[in-house]
């Protein structure tokens, strides 16, 4: 049996040897391209590994300091979150209160 290259439409599953089909793989709510075999084994496309890793790192809870500047309050955005969503200097965001304990930031 010859192994298929990653560029082919399907891959041989390393677990069971059957063909794994290309599809979107859910990594904690993030859809990334990859392959899934009928046995349940999933493989991510190599180009998507960093994207999935950054997304998982950004989901870790971190404490940030709230500081005051003039009449406004500031918080810092952890680097893991900025990297995962691609925040750049001077990007704009919308900030609003979702409920009494939740501040939403949409980039």
- Which whole-number Å values give the CA distances from 27 to 44, 54, 82, in the listed order? 10, 11, 18
> In the predicted model, is pLDDT for residue 5 greater than 80?
no
According to the model, what pLDDT value does residue 66 have? 94
Who's near 96: CB < 8 A, 6+ residues apart?
103, 104
For 46-81, write each residue's pLDDT tens digit: 889 888 999 899 989 999 999 999 999 999 999 999
Tell me the mean pLDDT in the region 85-99: 88
Tell me the pLDDT band of 6, cut-offs 50, 70 and 90.
low
Who's near 23: CB < 8 A, 6+ residues apart?
33, 34, 35, 36
Tell me the mean pLDDT in the region 85-107: 89
Closest CA to 48 of 81, 19, 29, 24: 24
> In the predicted model, is pLDDT for residue 37 greater than 60?
yes
The domains of the chain are located at: 11-58, 66-106
Q: CA–CA separation, 28 vs 44, rounded Å? A: 13
């Amino acid at each position: 049996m010859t192994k298929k290259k990653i560029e082919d439409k399907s891959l041989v599953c390393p677990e069971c040897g059957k063909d794994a089909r290309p599809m979107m793989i859910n990594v904690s709510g993030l859809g990334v391209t990859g392959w899934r075999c009928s046995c349940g084994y999933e493989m991510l496309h190599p180009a998507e590994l960093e994207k999935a890793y950054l997304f998982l790192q950004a989901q870790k809870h971190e404490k940030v300091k709230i500081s005051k500047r003039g009449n406004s309050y500031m918080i810092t955005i952890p680097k893991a979150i900025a990297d995962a969503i691609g925040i750049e200097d001077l990007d704009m965001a919308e900030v609003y209160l979702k409920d009494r304990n939740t501040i939403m930031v949409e980039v």
